[in-house]
Structure 1
Amino acid sequence: MPDWLSSYQKNLLSGDLTAGLIVTVMLIPQSLAYAMLAGLPPEMGLYASILPIIAYALLGSSMTLATGPVAVISLMTASALAPLAQSGSAQYIELAIQMALISGVMLLAFGLLRLGFLAHLLSHPVISGFISGSAILISLGQLKHLLGIPASGNNIAATLLDLTRHLSQTNPATLVIGSSSLLFLWWSRRSLSTLLEKAGMSSRLAGMLSKLAPMISVIGFTFMVYFFSLDTRFGVSVAGHVPQGLPSLGLSLPGFDAIAALWLPALLISLVGFVESVSVAQSLALKRKERILPNRELIGLGAANLASAISGGYPVTGGFARSVVNFSAGANTPLAGIISALLMAIVIAFFTPLFYYLPQAVLAATIISAVTALIDWRSLKNTWQYDRADAFSLLTTMLGVVLLGVEAGILLGIALSLAVLVWRSSHPHMAVLGRVPDTEHYRNIERHAVQTVPGLVALRVDESLFFANAAVVEQKIMALANTDTDVKNMLLVCSAVNQIDATALEMLDQLEKSLAARNIQLYFAEVKGPIMDRLKNTPLGKRMKNKIFLSVHTAFQHLRKDREPN
């Protein structure tokens, strides 16, 4: 039994009940819309909103994270399955369920192996670029439903071209419904909360009610289509028959061919879903001084995806918008999620016939309204001003997702981030040091007014020494020795060096010998303990036994010549 359940108190129930109800009202239109985005029947979005929520509630570590279908994972699912089967076909549905299963197994394995640190493998610029690119891709892909015209293509350029060709076939009624719904949702997000507050409502309640605008839109336009028979009279596309009744439980095991086709997209879905969930969970936990356990999150999300596969759903993760609403509505424990799941089960068991006249244009408007809020232009602007390399990673990932597809885009972003990391490490910042007058502090001679010792050059390398930068460091030291013919002592300051690999060790060994042949002695200062432990048993370490100083100041004092410093 989870800790929150074994120590549950009655005074927490009212907040959990309220949050569970509000999240359910918000989850119904999102589940239907995101299933459509994934190319799946709408009921699969509802199925993925029952057992997965309960599984996470029992095994996850966040008190307020709301799991279920989300836009980005739905897009990744559609992107992965589109080349393998016809959208909505029996094979397509089976592959979606199997991908949830593979993703669940991966996440559980990562959790049991305590690989929670995987959350740090994707940098913020890559995640921001990926989400922004996905949001753009999703929005463009929903235009055909908003206009009521057919459009297809293997990539976004082909889809837009096909969309342009069929623009003359735009269904006016569908366009009016879709654009009206979209405008209402945008207005609600910007102004409804303020309007309710002016009417005397508390800011908290007004904020929560404004989040329910998608449900208001769904109810209003569904009634309109039904009352005026817009589907038969004007050809407005509707959701149609949504099967009534709880999902049957079962497990479809993938074959070798399916595993070979699905393991990479399942891995990316697992990583992206985990990073997104942990980010949301941590931001909410900090507000209540709670703690998120990444390894428990892996297990919780893994169990949620397994539960989704067993109940006929598709890959799920923690959703940002729903989690924020869950938190704001007063959720105290994961019981709010279990209440939401039970309410969803009631909806599926008895009320799915009400969704028959739900216009697809309204679902498209719901998706567009939700994802456009995820486009993070501010991060791009701020990152560009601070670090052009990170900004380039963000922009490349975003454009890669839009132009090349989801998998290619995120892999490109990861590869570029690693390339930037290696490039930076291979070009470390290095500074020649001097003493700040009347202190024991030593700073860069190019930035500060400092004193130096004739015949002594002290070089600080602000990076670990390894194969990618060993030659650069060697070249710098030799250039300093060649520039000043009076140099007799070369001091390598290792305060920022956390590791020296075999290539760098070989470089230092040869460097010490080369300098000694020119009557220049090599010294080290501020070498960290773990490095000293490995260095002392090497030939270089034995030769440097009495030439390693505890501090730069000690080295300067020891190597000072008789005359005063310049």
Structure 2
Amino acid sequence: MPPTATRFAWLPHWLRHYQRAWLGGDVSAGLIVAVLVIPQSLAYTLLAGLPAEMGLYASILPVVAYALVGSSMTLAVGPVAIAALMTASALQPLAIAGTTEYVQLAMHLALISGLMFLAFGALRLGFLAYFLSRPVISGFVSGSAVMIALGQLKHILGVEAPSSSSAATLQGLWRALPQSNPTAIALGLGSMVALLLARRILAPALLRVGVGAQAADLLARMAPIATVIVGTGLVAWGQWDVTRQVAVVGSVPAGLPAWNLSLPGLSELGQLWLPALLISLVGFVGSVSVAQSFAMQRQQRIAPDRELWGMGAANIASALTGSYPVHGGLSRSAINFAAGAQTPLASLITAAFMVVIISLFTPLFYYLPLAVLAAGIIVAVFSLVDMATLQASWAYDRADALSLLATAVGVIVLGVETGIVLGVAMSLAALVWRSSHPHMAVVGRVPGTEHFRNVERHAVETVPGLLALRVDESLFFANATALEEHIETLMQADASIRRLLLVCSAVNQIDATALGMLTELEQSLSQRGIRLELAEVKGPVMDRLQPTTLGQRLQGRLFRSVHDAFVATDRQTDPHWQSP
């Protein structure tokens, strides 16, 4: 290895192999993302119940940390709606939103989440990205989107309403409806209409007049900035925060955040570990999904274990600089990708530009109306309600559809953490139920071949006295009794059976309960003059089976294939038989 390469081996791979041709795309993407995510960062932070400046802080050092450690070339890390909602859900029972105690808890939540990410990375638990099923994730995101939208209606109406639960929010909004602020409503609804029109009409219109697809998409995505500028300008021009009582962001402190090395106490750790775990798990699944989708478009790959390290570094950096949990954001990443980002240098440029904004331009945010930020959030989360997955799941697998609905309803009615746990429980219950009711088929030989198929689906040959039963599931405690009962039913239906052949091609494991059942079944059948035989037993299953009592008793009755078992029968019944 050249001395220069050795000297810079500590640098990220993308930086050591950086190409000058990438610089233009990275610079433009970094600047565009920085501008477009400012209102998003402010809005999501207010959604979390935290001071607006914390959203800006979360867009600096956490972004740098992920860029240096993570594996994705285009994933943009920062405040996201789901993390903000989960932060608020975890902290509101513990402290009053916006207070010093609440802010401290948010930073501790980010720290605990970051340490969990690092621990998972050290243990190489990247497979956790696949722990939550797609219906559960879809239900969680859809339910969260509804909760987020409900929570923002108070800003659209210009009233105060509790946010402890969806029911409390709706009740509070109903009571406060007579005190609604007409100007806030006009700003909020006007912004929503403008954003929806921009999303559905602006990009196609630009394409029709000859603007490139990528440029049209970026211009359409700049609509939130336009609404923020117009809304802020109107409030500042008319002093509507005073004359019409329009709620605004207010003073945002200038300057970089101070380092915070505060550690949670044992009592806080006991209160925050479960929310931090759920935030980490949900955030990791979402971040990896986004990173994979963009990596595939460029024939790139990500490393899930590296993503754990990257997310851990980002969240610890967020805690140390006075902010809350961060994840990889879909909208941020989509803007980053569409703007031409080639490497994480784009994120470093975004962070640098955010430093300039925080240092010099925070006074511009004073008159930014909360109704406009709320409109941006509602429009953004509206697309997260995933009806397509619900319809597809309902048509294909009702159990998955019920898991999705249970998660969504649980999140809306019972809260974020309870909704996730309910969805996971439903998924696991469906998995156990399916496994406890395995598909079992009596099989016969397709004439003139060595293939065997279900006698109820195909015209096949069977051998008198031989029952060949294929079990399409591993055998364990939940389905052992079901298998035994099905066998007894088949035996009672045909008294001529003298050989029972279990086809184990789909059996990947036999646990102790199933082994005990098979041992007792073999003994019972033997007493009735019926031989139990096994075919197509997989190597790992055979290794564990051979030393057992059942394995010893089945010597000479274990066949490599169903065909071998049928051949043995044919040879026994017809000495002149020839293999087809």
Q: Same fold (TM over 0.5)?
A: yes
2:541 aligns with 531
Q: Distance between the aligned counterparts of 1:483 and 1:200, measured in 2?
A: 74
2:94 aligns with 84
2:556 aligns with 546
Structure 2 length-normalised TM:
0.96
- Determine which of 216, 219, 234 is the counterpart of 1:209: 219
Structure 2 counterparts to residues 465-484 of structure 1, below 5 A = 465-484=475-494
1:25 aligns with 35
- Determine which of 149, 157, 163 is the counterpart of 2:167: 157
- Determine which of 228, 235, 246 is the counterpart of 2:245: 235
Q: Distance between the aligned counterparts of 2:138 and 2:163, measured in 1?
A: 26
2:122 aligns with 112
Q: Distance between the aligned counterparts of 2:210 and 2:255, measured in 1?
A: 41
| CA deviation after TM superposition for structure 1 residue 272, in Å | 0.1
Q: Distance between the aligned counterparts of 2:417 and 2:219, measured in 1?
A: 36
| CA deviation after TM superposition for structure 1 residue 363, in Å | 0.8
Structure 2 counterparts to residues 46-195 of structure 1, below 5 A = 46-152=56-162, 154-195=164-205
Q: Distance between the aligned counterparts of 1:327 and 1:558, measured in 2?
A: 63
1:246 aligns with 256
Structure 1 length-normalised TM:
0.99
- Does the 8 A contact of 2:89 with 2:164 survive in 1? no
| CA deviation after TM superposition for structure 1 residue 439, in Å | 1.2
Letter in 2 for 1:299: W
2:302 aligns with 292
- Determine which of 372, 378, 395 is the counterpart of 1:362: 372
1:404 aligns with 414
Matched, 1:562 2:558: no
- Determine which of 213, 228, 236 is the counterpart of 1:218: 228
- Determine which of 484, 491, 510 is the counterpart of 2:501: 491
Matched, 1:418 2:441: no
Q: Distance between the aligned counterparts of 2:335 and 2:459, measured in 1?
A: 55
- Determine which of 249, 257, 262 is the counterpart of 2:272: 262
Matched, 1:374 2:379: no
Letter in 2 for 1:497: V
Letter in 2 for 1:331: A
Q: Secondary structure at the match of 2:469?
A: strand
Give CA-to-partner distance per residue, 1:79-126, whole Å, 9 cap, x none: 000000000000000000000000000000000100111111100000
Deviates more, 1:82-91 or 1:477-486: 477-486
Deviates more, 1:355-364 or 1:243-252: 243-252
Structure 2 counterparts to residues 437-448 of structure 1, below 5 A = 437-448=447-458
Q: Distance between the aligned counterparts of 1:530 and 1:323, measured in 2?
A: 44
Structure 2 counterparts to residues 335-354 of structure 1, below 5 A = 335-354=345-364
| CA deviation after TM superposition for structure 1 residue 228, in Å | 1.3
Deviates more, 1:76-85 or 1:542-551: 542-551
Letter in 2 for 1:24: A
2:5 aligns with none
Letter in 1 for 2:333: S
Q: Distance between the aligned counterparts of 1:230 and 1:75, measured in 2?
A: 29
Q: Secondary structure at the match of 1:495?
A: coil
Q: Secondary structure at the match of 2:96?
A: coil
Q: Distance between the aligned counterparts of 2:565 and 2:299, measured in 1?
A: 46
Q: Secondary structure at the match of 2:381?
A: helix
Q: Distance between the aligned counterparts of 1:155 and 1:99, measured in 2?
A: 21
Q: Distance between the aligned counterparts of 2:296 and 2:263, measured in 1?
A: 39
Q: Distance between the aligned counterparts of 2:361 and 2:205, measured in 1?
A: 32
Letter in 1 for 2:122: L
Q: Distance between the aligned counterparts of 1:139 and 1:556, measured in 2?
A: 64
| CA deviation after TM superposition for structure 1 residue 200, in Å | 2.3
Letter in 2 for 1:328: A
Give the unaligned 5+ runs of structure 2: 1-10
2:322 aligns with 312
Q: Distance between the aligned counterparts of 1:292 and 1:153, measured in 2?
A: 38
| CA deviation after TM superposition for structure 1 residue 479, in Å | 1.5
Q: Distance between the aligned counterparts of 2:360 and 2:165, measured in 1?
A: 39
Letter in 2 for 1:362: V
Letter in 2 for 1:358: L
Give CA-to-partner distance per residue, 1:314-349, whole Å, 9 cap, x none: 000000111111111111111111111111111111
Letter in 1 for 2:186: V
Q: Secondary structure at the match of 1:142?
A: helix
Q: Distance between the aligned counterparts of 1:31 and 1:211, measured in 2?
A: 15
Q: Distance between the aligned counterparts of 2:173 and 2:481, measured in 1?
A: 54
- Determine which of 453, 478, 485 is the counterpart of 2:463: 453
- Does the 8 A contact of 2:192 with 2:376 survive in 1? yes
1:433 aligns with 443
- Does the 8 A contact of 2:151 with 2:163 survive in 1? no
Letter in 2 for 1:562: T
Deviates more, 1:442-451 or 1:120-129: 442-451
- Determine which of 1, 6, 16 is the counterpart of 2:16: 6
Q: Distance between the aligned counterparts of 1:43 and 1:122, measured in 2?
A: 33
Q: Distance between the aligned counterparts of 2:327 and 2:452, measured in 1?
A: 50
Q: Distance between the aligned counterparts of 1:22 and 1:437, measured in 2?
A: 68
Give CA-to-partner distance per residue, 1:353-377, whole Å, 9 cap, x none: 1000000001101110111111101
Q: Secondary structure at the match of 1:254?
A: coil
Q: Distance between the aligned counterparts of 1:352 and 1:269, measured in 2?
A: 29
| CA deviation after TM superposition for structure 1 residue 469, in Å | 0.7
Give CA-to-partner distance per residue, 1:112-148, whole Å, 9 cap, x none: 1001111111000000000000000100110000000
- Does the 8 A contact of 2:48 with 2:84 survive in 1? yes
| CA deviation after TM superposition for structure 1 residue 198, in Å | 2.3
- Determine which of 437, 462, 472 is the counterpart of 2:472: 462
Q: Distance between the aligned counterparts of 1:327 and 1:154, measured in 2?
A: 36
Letter in 1 for 2:287: S
1:386 aligns with 396
Letter in 2 for 1:405: G
| CA deviation after TM superposition for structure 1 residue 171, in Å | 0.3
Q: Distance between the aligned counterparts of 2:462 and 2:23, measured in 1?
A: 70
Q: Secondary structure at the match of 1:491?
A: strand
| CA deviation after TM superposition for structure 1 residue 153, in Å | 5.1
Q: Distance between the aligned counterparts of 1:308 and 1:428, measured in 2?
A: 48
